[in-house]
Amino acid sequence: MKVKLNIPISEEEIRKLNVGDEVSLSGIMVTARDMAHKLMHEEKPDFIRKYLENGVIYHCGPVIKKEGDEYKFVAAGPTTSIREEPYESEVICEYKVRGVIGKGGMKERTMDGLKRCGAVYFHAVGGAGSLIASRVKRVIDVFKLEEFGTPEAFWVIEVEDFPVIVTMDSKGNSLHTEILEKSRKVYEELISE
Partner 1 sequence: MMELKEHFLELIRQASTDLPPDVEKRLREAYEIEDEGTPAKAVFKTILEDVEMARENSTPICQDTGTVNYFIYLPDGEKQKPYIESGIWAAREATRKYYLRPNAVDPVSGKNSGDNTGKNAPYFHFTTWDKDYVEVKLLLKGGGSENVGIQYKLPDINLNAGRDMKGVKKCVIDAVFKAQGYGCAPGTISVGIGGDRTTSYMLAKKNLFRKIGSKNENPILDEMERELEEKLNAMGIGPMGFGGKTTVLDVFIDAQHRHPATFYVSVVYNCWAYRRKTMIIKNGEVSYES
Residues that bind partner 1 (CB under 8 A): 20, 22, 60-63, 65, 74-77, 79-80, 103-105, 123, 125-134, 149, 151, 163, 165, 167, 175-176, 178-180, 182-184, 186-187, 190-192
Hey, which residues does 101 pair with through a beta bridge? 58, 122
Of 45 and 163, nearer to partner 1 (C-beta) is 163
Cβ at position 106, least distance to partner 1 in Å: 12
Cβ at position 114, least distance to partner 1 in Å: 18
Q: For strand 56-58 and strand 22-31, is the pairing parallel, antiparallel, or unpaired?
A: parallel
How many CA atoms are closer than 13 Å to the CA of 130, on its beta-carbon side?
0
Of 98 and 103, nearer to partner 1 (C-beta) is 103
Is residue 37 part of the annotated active site? The answer reads yes
Of 38 and 49, nearer to partner 1 (C-beta) is 38
Residues in contact with 77: Cβ distance below 8 Å, sequence separation at least 6, in sequence order: 60, 103, 124, 125, 126, 127, 128, 129, 132
- The Cα 70–Cα 66 span in angstroms is 6
Active site residue ranges: 37
